[in-house]
Chains A and B, each alone.
Chain A
């Protein structure tokens, strides 16, 4: 049972436009959400996070929105740059099994930003 879902395997946008990556979750115990960026043959890099007490968190070109009632979050990248081309993973954590810092990852979305 996949608790964190990224339903779009890939996304292609033009340089300078907005990229919107989506993520849905099913476990209502999740209370912290993270986005990671990953280049091929490298480890993921932490990008931005949001706690369930907030509905928005912004860091430069990256903004994460959280809709708790819909169990949905999204990552907005504005403006998109070719260097943003990578796989983006959504991850979630919460009070599960006593290990409240275990992360559950989605399968990722490959973002391609075209010059």
Chain B
């Protein structure tokens, strides 16, 4: 697609429920990233994918968080048993290749998650 697409753009969920966030990267981009940004805060790295594999999962805050990517394209970030501290904007980004100087990272508009 023309840009990184994320859905839903806004999600309000009850504490304890599971949520699934979707990211559709720019066509042809092999690298995909998930970041979390709490209100007024910086970018917190969660996970990245090179193709379908995720070499680095160290950023995932807890075992309630998981992510997958299939077909080297769409990725889903799943949060189980959501807690109020999970409320944040979840930003997905993609770049053409992995660990190559010069790759620009393109961000989606984000999925705003509110846990009540």
Q: Do A and B come from one complex?
A: no
Interface residues of chain B, those whose CB is within 8 Å of chain A, are none
